[in-house]
Structure 1
Amino acid sequence: MPEAGLASEVAAIAAEAGRLAMTRWETEFKRWEKVPGSPVCDVDLELDALLRDRLTALLPEAGWLSEETADSRARLDARRIWVVDPIDGTRDYLRHRPGWSVSVALVEDGAPVIGVLDAPARGERWIAEAGRGAARNGVQLHVTPRDQLAGSRMPTDHLPKVDGDLVIVDKPNSIALRIAMVAAGEADLLATIRWGNEWDVAAAVLLVREAGGVITDVLGQELVFNTPSAKAFGLLVSAPGIHDAAVERLAHRAREALES
C-alpha cells in the first residue's frame, strides 16, 4: 500500500510534465525514429529528464524504467520502481492530435501500486492507488457490467471478420488511454496479440484493476512488472463478465503467433 498522499505528489509531477509538453506542442522540435515505425522527439527526452529528476527526489531508493532511458539491470534489485512513458502516443503528439498522455506508475514487488495518466490536451487526469480506487478528474471509475462478449465495444481501427460481432469505437494513439477507456466504462474490451513494453501499460493496469476490471496477458496469465525483459506478450483488458470468453476466443491466435 503506498503512503498516504504519495499519489497526489506523483500526479502533480505528471501534471508538470504535461504542462511542459503542452508548451512545446506547437513549437519547432526535433523528431526522428528510434527504429522504423517507432517515432520519438526531443520533447520525449525533455519530459523524461524532468520526470526522473522529480520522481527520484520523491523516492530516492526506487529503481527506474522508462521508454526514453537506457535500461539498467540494477532496477531488478529494487523492491520499488518507477515505470514511465514520458509521452505515450507520440504519433498523436507529433500530429497535433490529443490522444497522448504522460504515464507514470510506481511498481512495488512486481505490481503497480500508483498509476497516473496526465492527458492535458484532453483535459484529463487519471489517478489510481492500490486499494483506494481509480478516478478521472475526481470522478470514480467503474467498468461496465457487461457479461456477453458479442456486442462488446473495442477501441481499434479495424477488426478481423471472425470478430465481426464486436463493436469498433474510436481510439487514441496512446495505448494507456485505450486501456483507461475500459476503466471508465467507455469500452468493454481491449486486446493485443504482440509483444509490448511494461512502460506502455503499467499505470493503466492499475486504473482497470481499481475500477473493477480484469487485465491479464492474452493467454489469461497475470501480468508481472519489473521483469528482466520489461516486456509481455499480448494484453487482454475487459469487464470481468467477458474476460473468460475473450481468453477462449483469443488464446489459440496468441499461441499461433508465439509459435510463428
Structure 2
Amino acid sequence: LSEETGDAPERLNRDLIWLVDPIDGTRDFVRGRSGWCVSVALVSSGKPLIGMLCAPARKEEWLGVAGKGAWRNGAALRASRRSVFSGARVPIDQLPQADSDLVMVDKPNSIALRIAMVAADEADLVATLRWGFEWDIAAATLIAREAGAEVTDAFGGPLAYNKRDPRAFGVLTCAPAIHDEAVARLADRAAELAPKTKG
C-alpha cells in the first residue's frame, strides 16, 4: 500500500504487506531542505514488524524491529524520558496559545522524521490532529515504540495498520510519563476536529 499507487483490496487478505511512502515531507524535498525521508514498513496482523526511514539529505537511516529495538545509523535509540508535561519539546512552527508552556524545536516537514525525533530524544511530544495515512506513520511509530516512546492515536487509542480505510485520525507520540496529560490536553481539540477533517 503506497501513496503513489492505487489501492489493492486483496491486501486485506494477505499475511504480510508493505506500506511505502516514497517521499514523506514533499515540501522540504521540493525546497531543497533536509526534512524529508523514504518510509517503508512491513506489517502483519495490523502491526508493523519492521520499519525503516531513509533520510539521504541528513545522511540518516533509521530502523525499528518489533521486539528487538530501534537504531539510527546503527546506534541504539532511547526515547525521551521526560516526566513533566510543561516544557516538553515539540517540533512545530508555531504553538497555539493553549500550548504556550511547551517549547518549540526545529520541525522537519516529514511527519515520520518528527515522530523519529521522539525516538532519538530530540523531542518529547509529537501530535497531529488531522486525518493522515498509514504509510506516513507506520515505520516511524514502530521506531518510536521500540525506542520506548508511547504511541497512540490522537485520542490515546491504539493504532492499527492495513485497515480497509487506510486513514487514521491523528497520531500522538511522546515520552510515556506525559502521555496521559497530552491526551487530556488534546481531547477537546481532537473531538472538535475529528468529524470535520475526514474526507
Query: Structure 1 length as normaliser, TM-score?
Result: 0.74
Kindly indicate which of the two structures has a greater share of residues assigned to helix: 1
Aligned to 1:214: 150
The answer to whether 1:250 aligns with 2:186 is yes
The answer to whether 1:151 aligns with 2:87 is yes
The answer to whether 1:179 aligns with 2:115 is yes
Amino acid at match of 1:85: D
The answer to whether 1:113 aligns with 2:41 is no
**Overall identity of the aligned pairs, in %:** 60
List 4+ stretches of structure 1 deviating above 4 A.
Answer: none
Higher-Rg member (1/2):
1
Contact kept, 8 Å, 2:15 with 2:45, in 1: the verdict is yes
Which of structures 1 and 2 has the larger relative contact order (alpha carbons within 8 angstroms, sep 6+)? 2
Aligned to 2:78: 142
Select which of 44, 56, 59 maps to 1:123. 59
What is the CA distance between 1:258 and its match in structure 2?
Answer: 2.3
Alignment of structure 1 residues 22-101 onto 2, 5 Å:
65-101=1-37
Contact kept, 8 Å, 2:70 with 2:147, in 1: the verdict is yes
Amino acid at match of 1:93: F
What is the CA distance between 1:182 and its match in structure 2?
Answer: 0.3
Flag the 1:198–1:259 CA change in 2: closer, same or farther, 3 A: closer
- 1:236 counterpart SS class: strand
Amino acid at match of 1:172: P
Aligned to 2:103: 167
What is the CA distance between 1:93 and its match in structure 2?
Answer: 1.0
What is the CA distance between 1:259 and its match in structure 2?
Answer: 4.2
What is the CA distance between 1:140 and its match in structure 2?
Answer: 0.5
Aligned to 1:132: 68
What is the CA distance between 1:133 and its match in structure 2?
Answer: 0.3
Q: Which runs of 5+ in 2 are unaligned?
A: none
What is the CA distance between 1:159 and its match in structure 2?
Answer: 1.0
Would you say how many aligned residue pairs link Structure 1 and Structure 2? Answer: 196
- 1:159 counterpart SS class: coil
Aligned to 2:131: 195
User: Residues of 2 paired with 1:160 and 1:90: CA distance?
Assistant: 24
Query: Structure 2 length as normaliser, TM-score?
Result: 0.97
CA offsets, 1:212-234, max 9 Å, x none? 00110010000000011100001
Contact kept, 8 Å, 2:129 with 2:194, in 1: the verdict is no
